[in-house]
Amino acid sequence: MSQVRVLVADEISKNGVEMLKAQGYKVDVRTGLKEDELVKVIKDYDVLVVRSATKATRKVIEASRLKVIGRAGIGVDNIDVDAATERGVLVMNAPSGNVVSTAELTIGLMFALARRITQADASMKRGEWKRKEMKGVQVQGKTLGIIGLGRVGAEVAKKAIALGMTVIAYDPLVSPEVGARLRVRLVTLERLLKDSDFVSLHVPLTPQTKDMIGKNELAMMKKGAMLVNSARGGVVNEDALAEVLEKNTIAGAALDVFASEPPTGSRLLSLPAAVLTPHVGATTNEAQEEVGSEIAEQIIAYLRDNVLKNAVNLPAKLDPELVPYMPLAEKLGTFTSQLGKCSAGKVEVSCMGELARKDTRIIVASVITGMLKPLSEEFSINWINAFAIAKARGIDIVSSTADDAGRFGNLIRVSLQTNGDRVSCAGSLMPDRGPRIVEIDESPVDIVPEGHFLLIAHTDKPGMIGKVGTVLGDSDVNIASMEVARAKPRGPAMMILELDDELQTEVLRKVRKIADLKSAIAIKL
């Protein structure tokens, strides 16, 4: 093998650079490269190391011979992971090094809000002495609501408890046992927003979490409550947040991340109740030292020993006969986790038919990946580390195979159990038709696993379809398709509606008020 060439395109620790050089790699540190500049030089390198500034776009990746892209940090928003996967480029991140720094910033932002530190500082520098106007609140004795109880969320919980706060959390993928171990009470998102004095977000930006805190969610918060987002921009709808701050509906908000960075022109920039920092959660000497060394270690382990750690995408070498089933398995995991709307306790994955003759661990891992990814802060979740992360969250995984897939050539069935409740769905990869969800809670269906859905459990009786259709029509929600799964007439039934657009929270509330309706769940795939 010829000498490995590494391009470090953003600043990382000197120790990380020296570790790479010690392996005999040719390491060039060239920061501040724009896309066109990077395209011109990337063809000469085997490894690209970035932080958050450099963009590893499809154009860059397709112009390269890269084997590895290493992200010194957690988020891979600046890397086109799909393009890398298509080209067989391994993408890995370093998720552990900045946990403490991000958690400490979160606590710092909370204190800044509680004691009006930034406003007091600005006032003093204007020559003012406004002690009464800078009256704040204590954090001891207050309730902190944490949305997302992964690495950073758990670290924030630990620090908040040490400060004498009561901590509650919303994370449907954390078991009650893990919550108890962290001394955190798990609640619904709605209960968290209503009961918390401070709300802190620690989730990634995914289709499921985009704008998860919007107008309706902000309206649930206490008038004196305060919001902190040091996770990802786009998780909070910034226009809705600006509106409630302007109206003093909540007391304040602190953001380290924004939907567009820098947030040029944002209404938040002019609001005294908003404390803003320029995405500095991981910007400490210690964090940069940690993530630089961490990503260097991982790159060396992969190139030298073929050992994978914190890989974000799929490695190139997979059983080609199983690869087509993996997206379906991941969709089934995502679907089931939203269908359950509960803390995961036990997950069962059954692979039947032609799949039974294969090593199905990759299918099971894909299911767990789909289940964990939407609401987890771990950007590196994939089949490589899905089992370890599930174990850390207290989720019991059971897998099985069976030769008989019924009327299907292949079938993947996923069930989720917790506290005596069970939900399930099954899917099949069908010849000439592609992936299909063919079963929900043991009732036959035929759904393409893509888009927005509304699942309604109800009693099968005349007028139910009309009632639901009227509510949706009055709310300008267009139904793309509909089917009803039932075991017998006038018994329990499941109405599955495919919608053209995402269902808004207020519309879902109206649907849930319909008589004889047992449940209504909005699902996004």
- Beta pairing class for 26-29 and 47-50: unpaired
Q: How confident is the model at residue 316 (pLDDT cuts 50, 70, 90)?
A: very low
Q: Domain-by-domain residue ranges, the chain?
A: 5-97+286-305, 99-276, 320-449, 451-525
Asked whether this chain's domains 5-97+286-305 and 99-276 adopt the same fold, the reply is yes
* pLDDT tens string 55-83: 999 999 999 999 999 999 887 888 998 88
Supply the pLDDT for residue 314.
Answer: 64
User: Alpha-carbon distance 27 to 4, whole Å?
Assistant: 8
Residues 242-254 have a mean pLDDT of 95
Q: Could you tell me the sign of the dihedral formed by the alpha carbons of 28, 32, 37, 42, in that order? A: positive
Peptide bond into 327 cis (omega under 30): no
Which residue has better confidence, 37 or 316? 37
Whether residue 380 is predicted with pLDDT greater than 60 in this model: the reply is no
Architecture of the domain spanning 5-97+286-305: 3-Layer(aba) Sandwich (3.40)
Secondary structure of 80-121 as H, E, C letters:
CHHHHHHCCCEEEECCCCCHHHHHHHHHHHHHHHHHCHHHHH
- Beta pairing class for 252-255 and 226-229: parallel
Supply the pLDDT for residue 501.
Answer: 87
Q: Domain 451-525 belongs to what topology? A: Alpha-Beta Plaits (3.30.70)
DSSP annotation of 375 reads G
Cα 454 to Cα 392, 431, 494, distances in angstroms: 31, 27, 10
Catalytic residue among 86, 128, 261, 450: 261
304 is catalytic: no
Whether residue 38 is predicted with pLDDT greater than 50 in this model: the reply is yes
Catalytic residue among 51, 116, 279, 393: 279
* pLDDT tens string 80-117: 988 887 787 889 998 888 899 999 999 999 999 999 99
Q: The domain 99-276 is classified under which CATH number: 3.40.50.720, 3.30.2320.80, 3.90.1640.20, 3.30.30.10? A: 3.40.50.720
- pTM higher than 0.75, yes or no? no
Whether residue 344 is predicted with pLDDT greater than 70 in this model: the reply is no
Q: Could you tell me the sign of the dihedral formed by the alpha carbons of 170, 171, 177, 179, in that order? A: negative
Q: Mean pLDDT in the chain?
A: 89
User: Alpha-carbon distance 521 to 495, whole Å?
Assistant: 11
Read off the tokens for 413. 């069935």
* pLDDT tens string 252-297: 999 999 999 899 999 999 999 999 999 999 888 888 889 999 999 9
User: Alpha-carbon distance 310 to 68, whole Å?
Assistant: 12
261 is catalytic: yes
Supply the pLDDT for residue 379.
Answer: 47
Considering only the top CATH level, what class is 320-449? alpha beta
Rounded to the nearest 10°, the torsion over CA 212, 215, 216, 218 is 80
Residues 466-475 have a mean pLDDT of 90
232 is catalytic: yes
Whether residue 342 is predicted with pLDDT greater than 70 in this model: the reply is no
Do 152 and 103 touch, CB atoms closer than 8 A? yes
